[in-house]
Each structure stands twice: as structure tokens, then as C-alpha cells.
Structure 1
Amino acid sequence: MSIKRALVSVSDKTGIVDFCRELSQMGVEIISTGGTSSLLSKEGVPVVGISDVTGFPEIMDGRVKTLHPAVHSGLLAVRDNEEHTRQMKELGLDYIDLVVVNLYPFQETIAKPDVAYEDAIENIDIGGPTMLRSAAKNHAFVSVVVDADDYSHVLEEVRNSGDTTLETRKRLAAKVFRHTAAYDALISDYLSNVNGDPLPERLTVTYEKLQDLRYGENPHQQAAFYRKPLAAQDTLTTAEQLHGKELSYNNINDANAALQIVKEFEEPAVVAVKHMNPCGVGVGESIYEAYGKAYAADPTSIFGGIVAANRIIDSDTAAKLSEIFLEIVLAPDFTQEALDILTKKKNIRLLKTGELSAARNRESQFVVTSIDGGMIVQQSDVHSIEASELKVVTDRAPSEEELKQLLFGWKVVKHVKSNAIVLAANDMTVGVGAGQMNRVGAAKIAIEQAGELAKGAILASDAFFPMGDTLELAAKAGVIAVIQPGGSIKDEESIKVANEYGIAMVFTGVRHFKH
């Protein structure tokens, strides 16, 4: 066997002229359609129009051109099947040995702001996926290319032997079906959302690989980093790495957690994260002041952690950051002076995110979590609350300053693994209790970490108190105000304890479990 005829029809024309020119020089007949045919002809590459093959004109504005027996017989015929061979001869049909197709730019179309529904539908490719699937199914005899990165390899094999190897054809076929599956998944997702059905009876998700990772959570686990199509521009998947070695699986998880927390704040804020939980959060008049508070919140745990900022890192802040070992610093950008300081540290990774949007301005996305044998899907937790929405349930209402600290703590505790308790004062966390099996245990950890700073601090709880014991513990430590969802059958017990100690307590009516 050898490649004698190739059918080429591409929307992304990167590299296609040189690829077809070399094929033609090796004696391969190039069949093409529409804009691809015009481009090849213009560049001096001999080309046969699709209508010359089918004996039928391209009609309906090009919607119907390759959906023809002359095309699909040439793709699907089993070359060593005598009956197929006989029919091909009787009907005067020729084989097609190579298909080079990429699809209408549906993803690029729906990424446009305010794209019209009609434009999206018009950019659903029909003939392209059909040719790809036909060729990929018959990969025992037909080569199929959907990715320009494969042009050079295909040319090398054809140059050496006149054909591709079966191993290559199998690999290319698998890539085709991944490509068409992703394409259909994107269309399905778009139409489901247009119809107000984001959780349909069948859910297919698609992601694009950004890189292979050295390993997963532990060295014996394989891992890779993927990005969702149309990901927002202020996510970790779109961040630009300015310095340092490649990210690890754990780096990515922790960096994403830090980024989500820092987006909660509109004022200058810095978040330090270890093992998916914040160990220090601070806000200030400047990013330098905010970092100082985040560091002071837990100077032990921040060592070897991930730091995220929502403002440009300047030289003064960079100098402080450089004093300890950090895995990653994420920020909208870095001044050149800051980069000069931080890049002297070989092992630090610097990520530029671009301008961050506040969490309260973000639309909820659907989050997929794998379980053994399946997955569960939910909306992301982008809920935020204003002071006017809080319900004061104690005799004493919080002061203006206490209210400010309560809202600060509420933004943080939302991102702490449950059961979660956060103590805060002076625009910084002073104690974080995360991931405990009971709420009293989480409170004990937070209070112990805070030490003397618990006196005069506020306490935020991600869920209600099932009884008054947590509040009793907090009151004895010196906590003066509490924010919690409320809704327990024993709310009155907690309210009674708060009143006995003169604590101001507010209910949000919303909980923030995070598993």
C-alpha cells in the first residue's frame, strides 16, 4: 500500500500549504474543498476540487459538499475485502488514502462576547467530523490527521516508505476520536446551557492537556494538568509562569486554593496556603502591609507554602517574600524590580495571573469530583454576603469594627476544609482550625494557634453550632463576636452562652461546608 490520494479540508490552515506541497511533490493527488482549495491553488499546489470527485456541486453555501458516496466509499472501503473492491471498480470509485481535516471553529465562536445563537449553530461542523470518523474507523488502510503537530511525522513516514505505519494510523485514529468527542461535548454543553439544562441525563466533559506532571500527590501516582475549554482568564490554567521549575500536582492544588481565597477581597490582600487550607490571610492599605499580616498570622506554617496576592508585587514586598522559602508566589503581575529580587531564588515559582475579578462578580461554574465508579457534580460556591443580610441574634449587636472583622472571617472560613473555625482580628487571621471531625476540635486548634491574640478576636464558623460547647470554649478564650449560619435546633443554647459572656453573634442563614 501507499498514499496516492489525500483529501484536505481545514479551517486552521497553519502549515497546510507546506504539508500539501511536499505530498504533491511525492506524487500524492490532493483533493480539497472551498477555502482550502483556493489557498492551495493560489500557492501553486496542484489541487483537485471536491466537485470533480463527486460529480456534484457544493451546495447550500457549502453545507453539502463531502457528504457523498464518492468520498465515503473511498474512505470506508476495506481494501482486502473482495466484495468492496469489486463494488469500487463497478462504480468507478477511487480510494482515498489520507484525510487531513480540522473542524469549524465552534469553540472560538462561542468564546466571543455576546455571540449570536445563529452564529454558534452555523459553526457546528458536519462534513468534517463525518470524514474524520470514516477515515479513523478504517485506519487499517487510511491515515487521518486532525492536528498540525502530526504533519512532520506523517511526511517523514511517507517520504521513507510511501505510507504511514499501522502503529501511526492507530495513534492518529485515537486522536481523531478524542478530538470529535471533545468537539461534540462542547456543542452539547453549549446547547444544554442555552436550554437551561446544565445537569442533563448524560454529561460529557472535555479538557485540554496543558502538561504531564512528574507525579501526582505521591511519586507512585501518574498525573497530568488539564484546562477546561473557555476557562476564565484569571485562573491558574491561564497563568503565565515567569520563573522556576514546573508545577507539581500538589503545587497546582494549593495554588488554586490560594487564588480562590484571594479573589474574595477587593482591598489589597495576601493569602498563604498549605495543604489546601489558608494558614495566613491579611488585608491592608498596600500589598506590603497585607503580606506582613498574612506572614504574622502563622510564620511557622507559611514556610514552604504558596502565597497569592491580588495586587502587583513591588520591590518592597518582594524583599520580604524572599526572606523565607516559598514554593509559589501568584500575583496579577510583578514589577521588574520585584522580579530581579525573586528570580535570584532558584526554587521559587512565580506565576502571573493577570487582573483578578472579585469572587462576588463571578458566575458559578459546575465542579466535577471523581468518585470510585463515577462522579458528582455541583455548582461552585461563589456565594457572598453583605452586612445588611446578617441577622443579629444576641442582646449586643456587633460594633462597626467587629462587623468588618466578621465579614473578613466569613470570606476566609468559606475556603477552609470542614469542620472549620477561623479566628480573626485587625484584618488578619490569628487562628485556623481545619478539617476536624467535630467543631469543638476545630475551635480548639484555632484558639490554641491564636494564643493571646484570641482575646478580642472574632470567630467564624462554616456551619452552625450543634450545641453551646464551641461558643463556651471561644468565650473563655476571649472571643468577642461570632458569625455562623444558624439553623441548629439548639441555636438558643448558643445564643444564651453568647449573651452570658456579652458576645455579639450574627447568623448568615448560609453554610459553607467544604470537603
Structure 2
Amino acid sequence: MPELVPLKRALLSVSDKTGLIELGQALAGRGVEILSTGGSAKALRDAGIEVRDVSEVTGSPEMMDGRVKTLHPRIHGGLLALRDDPAHAQAMEDHGIGAIDLLVVNLYPFEATVARGADYAEAVENIDIGGPAMIRAGAKNHDYVTVMVDVEDYAALLVELDDNGGQTSRAFRQTLAQRAYARTAAYDAAVSSWMAGAIGDVAPRRRAVAGMLKQTMRYGENPHQSAAFYTDGSNRPGVATATQHQGKELSYNNINDTDAAFELVSEFADAGPTCVIVKHANPCGVAQGGTLAEAYGRAYDCDRVSAFGGIVALNRPLDEETARAITGIFTEVVIAPGANDAAREVFAAKKNLRLLTTEGLAAAVPGLTWRQVSGGYLVQDRDIGQVTEADLKVVTKLSPTDEQLRDLLFAWTVAKHVKSNAIVYAKGGATVGVGAGQMSRVDSTRIAARKAQDMAEALDLPETPTVGSVVASDAFFPFPDGLLAAAGAGARAVIQPGGSVRDDAVIEAADEAGLAMVFTGQRHFRH
């Protein structure tokens, strides 16, 4: 296993031509013989770089629309041969196989092809065969072969060659070999996941998932845990694709909470100005208003204590007035579809405040969520379930008013994003009490009512804001006790999924309490 291997012969075959000419010039300037194929060879030759066609090396032309060009012993032998094995050396001599010291390949753009909505036949045609085969061969033989699959590594290669007199070190080759196998694994994961969807297999025998490193972190959820942030390659707006304009790097908890806030505010894409404030992945205040500044103020008023150090998400581009309101307290992150210059100038005075812009909201599109359990993974569809007024079933003698219906749908949307058991009181397009993550639904109901009392004290209100409010429950009330607790807090209308064996008893209790109640027929557990 040699420590240093001189680079004398290279094979360059890339779909993405970024940096190809500069790399080719640098290699040629170092006396490296360059082999290439198709469009790569043409691009290099057009730039005045001497290139030898792979077809000349193999003695076989490219055929079948380019499907067959590098699958040949004179290519794979050059990649796989053990240079210090006498039998391998003899085979190379007998069959005219020259060693390939550097392989530079990036694959057919399968992921991009699928992302732009290509049909089945076009997607299949963009599955690379020769590229992955060469990459895996060269990476397996990394004792002798340097394999590059990312444009980002071109510069590092040239530094490596300069530092080692035209040679690559074993550690460098090992690092690139790992990246090469990760790339082919991610590529195969993309192909297999796409095909499962294309043929309607919702539970394929094997599932693969891959990600691209976006950020390493100082630590994870707690300081003793290491962590990193990976992207999935999709272009769906959110924390993974956002532009960060200022502030230090996002932490693990920042990313988790910012995602929760942005997913919730995106539910209000077609609504008026809306603000979400999140703390520890739960919304502590959500409100709508005539302006973003008003929406922020109403969301902040719901739970001023929890809002401190929270995450703010907006459904409209950030403006100066809203920026000034937000900077009135300590806030970790603000995420919005955009921000004007005046707003960014206000935030510039708060150097530790992170501002993220997304150029859009997260559409409710199908996708998968993953959760690790001991020995495996739970995989399910993303919860994109939504209800409209037409989906609601009035089950009580009293029907909700039009104003209550608007608040019921608002509270229901918020409850979808609150950890179960979830209870949300709302009035006038704003939350006034949120109960999250309790072991019993009645406890969440009482906690949310207690939060509303805190709000009344903080704002010096004459009565708790739950009086005259509506209440949403993410799952059915299993007993009348939770519903009666909400009625005792002053709620006048209820939205819940229904479906309990005790629905009749709960409906009877609602009628006796003079409540209006609607069933959605849809549950939103969020564990």
C-alpha cells in the first residue's frame, strides 16, 4: 500500500462541466495524459487541451446512444489493477491495459431530471450505469487510484499535487473514496425512491435515504452530543434552503425550532399577515393582523414569557415596522419569505439575531418523514391533511357563528403543529392559550387556560381571553372532562376530530354546556 502515488494518467468524464476546463489545463500543465469521452472530450479539445478518446483506448466506438463506452476491460482493468501484484501487472501487459491514476466522474443528472417533472422513460434514460461502475472500481482500488465525484474537490486535488510533487497521499485517496461511495449510494437511493413512487409501491422491501452535508455543528441537542445538518436535495422552501443574512451559525435546536415555525406559518400562505412564535418546537403564539407588525404583537401577547428567546416565522416579507417590533425582545431566529432593506438595516444592529429568507413558503406537497427507533425506522407520509368549512360536521344543537367558524379553522390549523396532546384556544384570529405535550387531554386543556390567565395578567385585561373563545383539540375528547374544562374557561365553540366510542356523551355534555361543536373526521397527532 503505497503512501504516495504519482498521477500520470487521468480519465475525465463528467455531465456537469463546471471547472472542467480549468482542471484539464492544470493536469495537462503537470504532464498528465488525459482520457475522456463524448461531450467532456469535445469541451477539453475545444479549449486546446490534448485529449485521447476512450474509444481509441478500448478499440470500440461509443454505441447505443452512449450507453456503452467505458464498460471495457481496458478501462476497468486500468482502474482495478493492483500495481504491485505481478499477476496483475502481467495481465496489463498482455492485454494492453494502461493504469488510470485519476478518475473524475460526475453522474447523469438523474435527481435534476426527476425534479423538473420528467416522464418515466426520460427518468430511466438518465440513470447512469458506466459512471457508478467506474467510480466504485476506482474507489475500491484507492490504494492506487484517486477518485473525484464533486467539483468542490478539484481545487483540493491541485493543492495535494503541489504539496506532494505531483503525487497524492493515501489519506487523501481514502477521503475521496469515501465520498465516492457516498455519492453512488445517494444516487442509487434517489433512483430506488423515485421508482418506488413511480410504480406505486408505498412500502418497498428496502428504503434508502441520503443527504448532503450542509453544516457541522458545535454540538447537538445537548453539549455532549455531536451533530451535523444534511439537506435532501429538494428545493422546497424552508430552513434547509434559506439564505442566512446575519448572525452566528444555527444550532441543532435552532434548526429544529425554525423548521417547526416555518411549517406552521406556511399553512397560512393564502391568509392575511400572519406570525408564528415557536419555543422548543411548539407554537407559543400565532396570530393574524392587518399588518405583520400587528400580527407579531398579537402573537407575542399570547405568551410573552415563552416568546423570549423564541423563533419568529412570518408569511409575508419582513418590513421595517415589524423588524423594530421583533427587536424589542431577545429573539433567536426570524424566518420569512423575504425582507426589505429597511428591515435588514434594523436587524443589523442585533448581530446575534439570525435572519433567514426563503423566497417562498413551504407548499403542502407529499413527502416522507423518518423517525429512528431502536433497530429501525418509522416512515410515513408528511401530514398535509387540511380541512375546510365544507368538511366540518356540526354535531351539537347550537351551530357556530361565521366568526367562530373562522376561529375554529384557525385554531385547528395551529393545533396540527402542537405536540400531542394539543389544545389551542383562539379568539379573533389569534391564539390566547396553548397546551402542548401532556399525558392527558384534560391537563393540556387546563394548562392552556392557565396560559390565558397569565396573558390577562400581563396585559391587564378585565377577564381571561378564553372567555368567548373557541378551542381546538388535535384528537377526540375521550371523556367529557376535557371539554367541560374548556367550557369552564369560557370557550363557546369546539373543533375536534370525533370518532370516540364516547362521542355521544361528549356531544351531550357540549349541549348541556351550551357549546357549539364541529367534527373534522381528521386527526393530527404530533408526537
Structure 1 length as normaliser, TM-score? 0.96
Equivalent residue runs for 1:215-254 within 5 Å:
215-232=219-236, 234-254=237-257
Match in the other structure for 1:325: 330
**Equivalent residue for 2:480, pick from 464, 468, 485:** 468
> Equivalent residue of 1:383, what SS?
coil
Question: Is 1:270 matched with 2:275?
Answer: yes
State the AA in 1 paired with 2:138: A
Match in the other structure for 2:435: 433
Contact 1:107 1:230 in 2 (8 A): no
Per the TM alignment, residue 12 of structure 1 is displaced from its structure 2 partner at its CA by: 1.4
Identity %: 51
Per the TM alignment, residue 286 of structure 1 is displaced from its structure 2 partner at its CA by: 2.0
**Equivalent residue for 2:38, pick from 29, 34, 38:** 34
In structure 1, C-alpha distance between the alignment counterparts of 2:309 and 2:439, rounded to whole Å: 26
Contact 2:74 2:96 in 1 (8 A): no
In structure 2, C-alpha distance between the alignment counterparts of 1:305 and 1:156, rounded to whole Å: 44
Per the TM alignment, residue 230 of structure 1 is displaced from its structure 2 partner at its CA by: 2.1
Equivalent residue runs for 1:111-510 within 5 Å:
111-112=115-116, 114-159=117-162, 160-232=164-236, 234-265=237-268, 266-267=270-271, 268-356=273-361, 362-451=364-453, 452-510=464-522
Per the TM alignment, residue 117 of structure 1 is displaced from its structure 2 partner at its CA by: 2.4
State the AA in 2 paired with 1:326: T
Match in the other structure for 2:99: 95
In structure 1, C-alpha distance between the alignment counterparts of 2:476 and 2:327, rounded to whole Å: 40
Question: Is 1:513 matched with 2:513?
Answer: no
State the AA in 1 paired with 2:94: E
In structure 2, C-alpha distance between the alignment counterparts of 1:329 and 1:25, rounded to whole Å: 49
In structure 2, C-alpha distance between the alignment counterparts of 1:155 and 1:411, rounded to whole Å: 54
Which structure 2 residue ranges, 5 or more long, are not aligned? 454-463
Segment of structure 1 superposing worse, 322-331 or 77-86: 77-86
Q: What's the RMSD between the two structures over aligned residues? A: 1.4
> Equivalent residue of 2:304, what SS?
coil
> Equivalent residue of 1:292, what SS?
helix
Q: 1:341-368 CA distances to partner (integer Å, 9 max, x unpaired)?
A: 12211111111111225x5xx2221101
Segment of structure 1 superposing worse, 38-47 or 424-433: 38-47
Per the TM alignment, residue 21 of structure 1 is displaced from its structure 2 partner at its CA by: 2.1
> Equivalent residue of 2:425, what SS?
strand
In structure 1, C-alpha distance between the alignment counterparts of 2:391 and 2:151, rounded to whole Å: 54
Per the TM alignment, residue 161 of structure 1 is displaced from its structure 2 partner at its CA by: 3.1
**Equivalent residue for 2:57, pick from 53, 58, 61:** 53
State the AA in 2 paired with 1:493: A
- Name the count of aligned residue pairs: 510
> Equivalent residue of 1:99, what SS?
strand
> Equivalent residue of 2:433, what SS?
strand
Per the TM alignment, residue 198 of structure 1 is displaced from its structure 2 partner at its CA by: 3.7
Contact 2:420 2:436 in 1 (8 A): yes
Per the TM alignment, residue 306 of structure 1 is displaced from its structure 2 partner at its CA by: 0.5
Structure 2 length as normaliser, TM-score? 0.94
In structure 1, C-alpha distance between the alignment counterparts of 2:405 and 2:158, rounded to whole Å: 68
In structure 2, C-alpha distance between the alignment counterparts of 1:156 and 1:253, rounded to whole Å: 37
Q: 1:73-102 CA distances to partner (integer Å, 9 max, x unpaired)?
A: 111111122211122222222221211111
Match in the other structure for 2:89: 85
Per the TM alignment, residue 410 of structure 1 is displaced from its structure 2 partner at its CA by: 0.4
Per the TM alignment, residue 489 of structure 1 is displaced from its structure 2 partner at its CA by: 1.4
Segment of structure 1 superposing worse, 158-167 or 275-284: 158-167
Q: 1:474-515 CA distances to partner (integer Å, 9 max, x unpaired)?
A: 222211111111111111221122111111111111111100
Per the TM alignment, residue 195 of structure 1 is displaced from its structure 2 partner at its CA by: 0.7
Per the TM alignment, residue 250 of structure 1 is displaced from its structure 2 partner at its CA by: 0.5
Q: 1:402-428 CA distances to partner (integer Å, 9 max, x unpaired)?
A: 111111110111110001111111111
In structure 2, C-alpha distance between the alignment counterparts of 1:199 and 1:213, rounded to whole Å: 33
In structure 1, C-alpha distance between the alignment counterparts of 2:152 and 2:336, rounded to whole Å: 33
Which structure 1 residue ranges, 5 or more long, are not aligned? none
State the AA in 1 paired with 2:384: V
State the AA in 1 paired with 2:48: G
State the AA in 2 paired with 1:447: A
Per the TM alignment, residue 369 of structure 1 is displaced from its structure 2 partner at its CA by: 0.8
Question: Is 1:6 matched with 2:36?
Answer: no
In structure 2, C-alpha distance between the alignment counterparts of 1:406 and 1:347, rounded to whole Å: 37
Q: 1:108-155 CA distances to partner (integer Å, 9 max, x unpaired)?
A: 22222x323222222211111111111111111111111222223322
Contact 2:275 2:295 in 1 (8 A): yes
Per the TM alignment, residue 450 of structure 1 is displaced from its structure 2 partner at its CA by: 1.2
Per the TM alignment, residue 216 of structure 1 is displaced from its structure 2 partner at its CA by: 0.7
> Equivalent residue of 1:100, what SS?
strand
Contact 1:189 1:198 in 2 (8 A): no
